[in-house]
Structure 1
């Protein structure tokens, strides 16, 4: 009996789709387009680690947003476990936003 090979790239893309459903409550743009997600790691065991930041260390959702990200990613059937790590290095700036986010916010 052979084990099913997990396509980590495919799973990564599914995770990004989930991340695009999570919004910063103060800005009407999803956290992925805002540039708050620095990296998504997926290993062969289907454990996911997400390295993300917040718009500021005093962000009102500093307690709840990482939990929401973790829970939504864990809800994917293919994900065994998910962990979110918050970093402020490098600090978030508006340059990290996608063109789509800048357009949405009238910055282009």
Structure 2
């Protein structure tokens, strides 16, 4: 990964490498990532949701996000992934790229 990118850009790049297992779109473009916060001590808080509360990857996807971000960006000391359903995910959260990929545009 190019070190000249900001830490947030690099985190987003990692998030774009994680795909929803039921939809062939990455979780960032799908709109599952609500917020990425970075503290001065290189601690990262990621607020995310799932397409539905009873999504089959409710246990594994947040863990995958945490492990990938922490392992792929060395200077990050800690990753906290917060799962929320407020607001509930909807198609409006998807990027145009994701909508195009899914034939919704």
Bucket of the pairwise TM-score, normalised by the shorter protein: over 0.9
Residue 6 of structure 2 aligns to a residue whose secondary structure is helix
State the 1:78 CA deviation: 1.6
Q: Following superposition, which runs of at least 4 residues in structure 1 exceed 2 angstroms of deviation?
A: none
Contiguous gaps of at least 5 residues in structure 1: 1-8
Q: Which residue of 2 aligns with 1:106?
A: 103
1:18 paired to 2:14: yes
- What TM-score comes out, normalization by structure 2 length? 0.93
User: How far apart in 2 are the matches of 1:65 and 1:54?
Assistant: 9
- C-alpha RMSD of matched pairs (Å): 0.9
Aligned residues between the structures: 100
Q: Mark the structure with the bigger radius of gyration.
A: 1
Q: Which residue of 1 aligns with 2:42?
A: 46
Q: Kindly report which structure 2 residues correspond to 1:58-69, keeping only aligned pairs within 5 A, or say none.
A: 58-69=54-65
Q: Which residue of 1 aligns with 2:82?
A: 85
Contiguous gaps of at least 5 residues in structure 2: none
* Cα deviations by residue, 1:46-95 (Å, 9 ceiling, x for unpaired): 00000000000000000000000000011111211101000000000000
